[in-house]
């Protein structure tokens, strides 16, 4: 305490700033940049999304029930058996048919949630044709990667009927790791073009921050995300040889150098703090819990369905709709847990980004720009249950507190109003 008093005595300007800078008032100046109509629209969009998660799960369960009632997969299984095909080919066929049927049957719902609703709120730039093209690519990816994963999972179920969920957890962990590895290099380019970020103030800031924190920065990629929407985004993705720094063209076009530096400092924080590996481990363990629960619930449902479903046990690939439906419900129930785990990482990255970029006003301004699709000031319970990132209000207050604590003679900034959302 004596040391602190001595420091304040030696630097009276610092003491004055700490005493006069009002964190609450400075934060309110940023929050006031969002007009009442824009805030109402943002709140409606986000709150509607909370209900979409519930309705989406109910629709998923209903589709699984429908596929069981029409015995689609038992017919595929029986046909493969009559032709004398190997059991693993039967699993592969059931997996492919299920993925295709589920995708096509849920297409109207997907169209509403991912295209029509996004367009209503001015968040979609694609035509229907371009959107369908991306959906087709996604279907092919799901069919290839999903069928291989299910092939392995069902092989484990057959070989270890009592403890399949434990080995399955390891399979899921390997799968998540593999996806993190290949996504930046092989999957993202299927949807968007990536090019080198041009030389300039933004690249110079990003390279300087990356080098100071030992983040690989030989390549910094610019992604043409504006072909889909106007959302700003950036990341440090991949692991090992595929690690890369990326930002989308919306961030570059819509943000100042200070705002972009604040965002990129946050993203660098994920890499430096090891969040990728921690997320892989945590999500794998959580999936292990869900698989354990599914290993208890799914067999009981199969016994309940009996001859009506023609499913002969969990090892039967025709049980896939049962397993998928159970995991859909369990995943929904686990949402508050997953949101909290991700939100902790995001908050840590926020603190890291403020320390690295030293742009508290840029950080606050960037946080406000996310109000186009994130409710800016939720209640504490709502933020805990439904937010996988800190809310805009939380972030603005964090930035202003950092400014008071770290910027000598900190002064309030009166930011300009945010532009009104697109009709």
Q: What is the largest CA-CA distance in the chain?
A: 89
pLDDT digits (tens, 9 = 90+) for 330-354: 999 999 999 999 999 999 999 999 9
d(CA 223, CA 216): 18
Residue 223's DSSP bridge partners are: 194, 248
For the whole model, what pTM was predicted? 0.91
Q: What is the DSSP letter of 209?
A: H
Which 3 state secondary structure label does DSSP give 420?
A: coil
Please give the pLDDT value at position 86: 86
For 292, counting Cβ atoms within 10 Å of its Cβ (0-12 exposed, 13-18 middle, 19+ buried), the class is: middle
Query: Which residue positions in the chain have pLDDT lower than 50?
Result: 1-18
Sequence-distant (≥ 6) Cβ neighbours of residue 389 within 8 angstroms = 342, 343, 346, 374
C-beta neighbour count of 2 within 10 angstroms: 6
Please give the pLDDT value at position 103: 97
Cα angle for residues 378, 266, 352 (degrees, 5° grid): 100
Sheet holding 234-237, edge to edge: 194-196, 220-223, 244-248, 234-237
Please give the pLDDT value at position 19: 55
Cα angle for residues 244, 248, 251 (degrees, 5° grid): 125
- The tokens for 380 are 């504490």
Question: Could you tell me if 395 and 348 are in contact, meaning their C-beta atoms sit under 8 angstroms apart?
Answer: no
Cα angle for residues 50, 54, 56 (degrees, 5° grid): 105
- Report the chain's mean pLDDT, rounded to a whole number: 93
Please give the pLDDT value at position 8: 34
pLDDT digits (tens, 9 = 90+) for 15-48: 334 458 999 999 999 999 999 999 999 999 999 9
d(CA 32, CA 16): 26
Please provide residue 108's backbone torsions phi and psi, each rounded to the nearest 5 degrees: -60, -40
């Amino acid at each position: 305490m004596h040391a602190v008093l001595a420091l304040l005595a030696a630097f009276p300007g610092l003491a004055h700033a700490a005493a006069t800078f009002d964190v609450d008032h400075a934060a309110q100046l940023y929050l006031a940049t969002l007009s009442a109509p824009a805030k109402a629209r943002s709140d409606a969009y986000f709150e509607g999304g909370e209900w979409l998660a519930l309705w989406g799960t109910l629709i998923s369960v209903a589709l699984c029930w429908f596929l069981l009632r029409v015995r689609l997969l038992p017919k595929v299984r029986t046909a493969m058996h009559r032709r004398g095909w190997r059991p693993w080919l039967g699993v592969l066929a059931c997996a492919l048919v299920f993925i295709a049927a589920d995708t096509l049957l849920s297409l109207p719902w997907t169209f509403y949630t991912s295209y029509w609703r996004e367009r209503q709120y001015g968040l979609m730039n694609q035509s229907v044709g371009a959107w369908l093209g991306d959906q087709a690519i996604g279907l092919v990816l799901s069919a290839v990667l999903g069928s291989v994963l299910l092939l392995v999972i069902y092989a484990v179920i057959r070989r270890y009927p009592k403890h399949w969920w434990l080995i399955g957890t390891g399979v899921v962990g390997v799968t998540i790791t593999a996806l993190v590895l290949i996504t930046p290099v092989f999957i993202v380019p299927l949807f968007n073009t990536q090019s080198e970020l041009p030389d300039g103030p933004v690249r110079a800031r990003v390279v300087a921050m990356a080098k100071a924190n030992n983040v690989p920065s030989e390549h910094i990629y610019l992604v043409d995300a504006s072909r889909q929407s106007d959302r700003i985004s950036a990341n440090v993705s991949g692991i090992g040889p595929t690690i890369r720094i990326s930002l989308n063209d919306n961030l570059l076009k819509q943000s100042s150098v200070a705002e972009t530096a604040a965002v990129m400092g946050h993203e660098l924080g994920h890499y430096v703090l090891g969040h990728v590996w921690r997320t892989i481990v945590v999500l794998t363990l959580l999936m292990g819990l869900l698989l354990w629960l599914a290993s208890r619930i799914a067999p009981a449902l199969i016994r309940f369905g009996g001859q009506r479903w023609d499913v002969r046990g969990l090892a039967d690939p025709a049980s896939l709709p049962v397993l998928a439906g159970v995991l859909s419900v369990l995943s929904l129930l686990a949402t508050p847990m997953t949101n909290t785990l991700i939100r902790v990482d995001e908050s840590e990255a926020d603190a890291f980004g403020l320390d690295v970029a030293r742009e508290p006003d840029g950080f606050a301004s960037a946080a406000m720009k996310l109000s186009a699709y994130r409710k800016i000031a939720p209640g504490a319970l709502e933020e805990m249950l439904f937010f996988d990132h800190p809310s805009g209000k939380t972030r603005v207050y964090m930035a202003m507190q950092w400014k008071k604590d770290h910027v000598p003679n900190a002064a309030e900034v009166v930011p300009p109003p945010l532009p009104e959302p697109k009709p």
